[in-house]
Chain A
Amino acid sequence: MKKKSLGTKLTAAPYLVWSAIFIIVPLIFVLVYSVTDSQGNFTLQYILDIGKYKDVMLNSIWLGFIATVISLVISYPLAYIMARTTANVQRTMMILVMLPMWMNLLIRTYSMMIILQDTGIINTALEAIGLGKVHMINTEAAVVLGMVYNYIPYMILPLYSIMSKMDHNLIEAAEDLGANKFTVLKNIVLPLSLPGIASGFTMVFVPSVSTFYISKKLGGNTFSLIGDVIEMQFKSANNYNLGAALSLVLMVLIIICMMVMNRFTGEDDDGGVLI
């Protein structure tokens, strides 16, 4: 291989500095804080303390997983249909998908509250037609709904991207060889879209598991997710070390989940597709 010239190296420098300051250094901070106490002495006390938060952590992963699966189930057919329509319809649908992302997460979550609360739009409507109120806000279901609502574009985009690139001849070839619609979906479309599924799964699962704002607003004070606990350590409890330890463990758990996920997608390198 040709040796890289000095110029090439120099152009990479800003990015290297950037990632060192904003990615590597914070990670080192997290690592250091998680294995020291408030005096700065080495200790594994906080890591070992995490056992106390096992339930919160598992519950966070579980809710994040449910939200991701729901997003996938909704997005998959939508992305498939989008990829098959005319260019104009595709553009319009794409804008509709992206539109909520242009609004702030706080505003989106507040509007969700307004819709779901006991005196909210849905309940007012239900009461008006005589069906009576349904308690929705401050439940786990509301939190999951919030996650799906906030993060679903990150599922649709990679799926749409991979499906619009899929060669339609492959589907015709499969039909030609005797495959019915279901077999085509199972044996051709699904396996070929696995990299998109993996990519979407990561992009919805990770923020869902670590969210604190959505659970606080839509879950009320009835329960907390691991993100809330971590936030509490850094703010009210002022216990940076425990917060860092929790973050570290959460990070490791997410990485393990992703590795398991990526096993299913095989050796295809088409992974991180976004538009």
Chain B
Amino acid sequence: MGDNVIIRLQDISKKFEDEVILDKINLSIKDKEFMTFLGPSGCGKTTTLRIIAGFLEADSGQVIFEGKDINNVPPHKRQVNTIFQRYALFPHLNVYENIAFGLRIKKMKEKDISRKVHEMLELVNLKGFQKRNIASLSGGQQQRVAIARALAVEPRVLLLDEPLGALDLKLRKDMQVELKNIQKRMGITFIYVTHDQQEALSMSDTVVVMNGGKIQQIGTPIDIYNEPKNAFVADFIGESNILDGVMLDDFKAKFSGAVFQCLDKGFAVNESVDIVVRPEDVDVVPVSEGTISGIITSNTFKGVHFEMIVDIDNFKWMIQTTDYYPVGTRIGIQIEPDAIHVMKKSEYSGMFGDYSSFSDELERLSDVEQEEE
């Protein structure tokens, strides 16, 4: 991965009818990197993408492409191409002509066009599909044609707006791997928009977590997961128990009525903090050996593990184990120092990370809402 910045966003702000969509976004995107904008619906991720593509103009701020301000460059003159949410393939053209569309505008020779189209079809595993009608293709195949069409014109940056949202889970997983491979092989920058944190974590070099028109955190998937900056990020990426705590001293945090060893330092003595403990990092032990203990209020089998909701000191924890404990059992809890992550208090403190109202159904409902974006 080169260290050259290909696109820089400077103080980008955007309003729609008085509603702030983007609030001073600053971001550097490196050449050849796979960057993902991750966030719930309405967080501004798609708007940011459309501003980079040129379909929207920012109210203020600059889009800088390789050192040049491209605010006034129309979409058809930008070296970026977009994969649209619903593919936007031209229904009156067949697969070949769809992929050749951009090449014909470049006035390439028919022989070169043909070579390029075949090369692209091979890249997306659609050999022999050139004569096919768009309407006769499945969702996954249409997606591949859209990728081939955008890559045929050799963009420097490919923008992908929730491209896998309409595919079923199995196909989505396959396409994730394939997209990542294509990105590596083509050696170009991908900017990917999604609300699916699994997708973001498994594909990206860099994840940009957004909410409320602001960037919450920028980092590698591992950083984002292990070192979330605030309660919003901790809650949005994976499952988290987020507790009110006090930093007694360096490496010493107090929460749930007990003192734990941790690896965090640099806080003021007795500073109020948010504590994050991932459900898979909690060790279940006999009550006598636990630092704290609680009663299991529900237990759901998830295949790989059991997911329990445990009432500890009137706070509902989510804990994942591979052993089965019946509901009503009192269990002891131990947490290793490296499993505890301490965050400064933020505007999101207290809003997330308590599983008292948690239900699978609710989660699924909110997923549907997001997909309609």
Contact = CB atoms under 8 A, between A and B. Distances in A.
Interface of A: 167, 169-170, 172-180, 183, 187-188, 191-192, 266, 268
A176 B53 contact: yes
Nearest to B153: A177
B102 interface: yes
A268 B74 CA distance: 32
A219 to B, nearest CB: 41
A118 B105 CA distance: 53
Nearest to A188: B90
Contacts, number: 59
Interface string B84-122: 111011111000000001100110000000000000000
A173 B101 CA distance: 10
Contacts of B91: 170, 192
A191 to B, nearest CB: 5
21 contacts: A167-B86, A169-B86, A170-B91, A172-B75, A172-B82, A172-B88, A173-B82, A175-B75, A176-B53, A176-B75, A176-B81, A176-B150, A177-B101, A177-B150, A177-B153, A178-B76, A178-B105, A178-B153, A179-B76, A179-B105, A188-B90
Contact of B92 (A176, A180, A191): A191
A176 B153 CA distance: 10
B218 to A, nearest CB: 26
A177 B81 contact: yes
A163 B359 CA distance: 45
B278 interface: no
A167 B55 CA distance: 15
B88 A180 contact: no
Nearest to B85: A169
Interface residues of B, number: 24
Nearest to B86: A169
Given A172-B75, A191-B92, A178 B86 contact: no
B195 interface: no
Interface of B: 53, 55, 74-77, 80-82, 84-86, 88-92, 101-102, 105-106, 149-150, 153
Contacts of A180: 76
B153 to A, nearest CB: 6
A173 B84 contact: yes
A167 B150 CA distance: 18
Given A172-B84, A176-B80, 4 more contacts: A170-B91, A172-B82, A176-B53, A177-B101
B88 A169 contact: yes
Contacts of A173: 82, 84, 88-90
A174 B89 CA distance: 9
Contacts of A179: 76, 101, 105
B142 to A, nearest CB: 12
Nearest to A191: B92
Contact of A176 (B76, B86, B89, B90): B76
A175 B84 CA distance: 13
Contacts of A191: 92
Contacts of A266: 92
Contacts of A169: 84-86, 88
In this complex, which of B77, B86, B92 has the most chain A Cβ atoms within 10 angstroms of its Cβ?
Answer: B92
Nearest to B159: A176
B191 to A, nearest CB: 14
A170 B88 contact: yes
A178 B106 contact: yes
A162 to B, nearest CB: 12
A271 to B, nearest CB: 14
Contacts of A188: 90
| A-B complex: 8 closest residue pairs judged by Cβ atoms | A177-B102, A169-B88, A173-B88, A178-B105, A175-B75, A175-B76, A191-B92, A169-B84
